[in-house]
Amino acid sequence: MKRIIERELAFVYNYYNQRKFRKLKLPNVSELITSEDASIHWKNLDVSGKVVLDLGCGFWEINNIRESSPVYFKNKGAKKIIGIDLNENDIKVIKDYFGEHFKDDGSEFLIKKITNTNDLLELITKYQVESIKCDIEGFEKIMFNIDKEQVKNIASISVEYHDHNLFLNLINTFNNWGLKIVNHSIFTYGGPDMGVLTANRI
């Protein structure tokens, strides 16, 4: 009986969620993501000259540190990186690398869990963030309560999504923030509803 109720509730939720977003213009798929390497995964994010908030900056299935997102973004011309991850070892390795290769550039790397909207807004405000890369496995939904004025300095953003409802909510959120989707890439591996949306300020 419990499973039946859960199934019915899921059906109702999905039905109303789809109706809520029925007028959204969905972006066509632009490219395929074939690797976790940042040069493939995050290549469409505009970071040049910007302070980049890298949410989920660890080495998930990355073998070459130059293909990690913080190093890739820095080599691509980012002003500085504010990296957030829960993996202490990855944070240490990145700090050491930046200390050797990008000394005194102002980048910071924090062991921190993003659990609510205020966590994100505090980082955006404190570091005057201009570009965001977000790969925090489901917590992307904390962005949905942020209004346009609170992210007026954000010029570009890339977010990885893992399900269709998150995909729809991200499109809606970017529209509300005054951002235009410039790329929609999907994975050649993983689930059928996984991809990355990239948007720039209009």
Per-residue pLDDT of the chain (202 residues; tens, 9 = 90+): 545 444 533 443 454 455 566 678 889 999 999 999 999 999 999 999 999 999 999 998 888 999 999 999 999 999 999 999 999 999 999 999 999 999 999 999 999 999 999 999 999 999 999 999 999 987 888 999 999 999 999 999 999 999 999 999 999 999 999 999 999 999 999 878 999 999 999 8
Question: Rounded to whole angstroms, how far apart are CA atoms 28 and 87?
Answer: 34
Q: What is the CATH number of the domain that holds 67?
A: 3.40.50.150
Residue 129 covered by a domain: yes
Distance CA(140)–CA(117), nearest Å, equals 10
137: left (phi over 0), alpha (psi -120 to 50) or beta: left
**DSSP secondary structure string, 1-59?**
-HHHHHHHHHHHHHHHHHHHTTT--PPPP-EEE--S-HHHHSTT---TTSEEEEES-S-
What pLDDT, on the 0 to 100 scale, is given for residue 102?
97
Q: What is the pLDDT of residue 19?
A: 55
Q: How many domains are there within the chain?
A: 1
What is the structure's pLDDT at 31?
Answer: 95
Which residue range(s) make up the domain with 139? Answer: 26-201
Residue 18 within a domain:
no
pLDDT value for 17:
53
pTM of model > 0.85: yes
Task: Give the full edge-to-edge strand order of the sheet including 80-85.
Answer: 31-33, 179-187, 195-201, 156-161, 131-134, 51-55, 80-85, 108-111
The answer to the question of residue 146 being in a domain is yes
For residue 18, what pLDDT is reported? 56
Q: Give the per-residue pLDDT at 82.
A: 98
In a domain, 148, yes or no: yes
Residue 168 lies in a domain: yes
Map residue 88 onto helix, strand or coil. helix
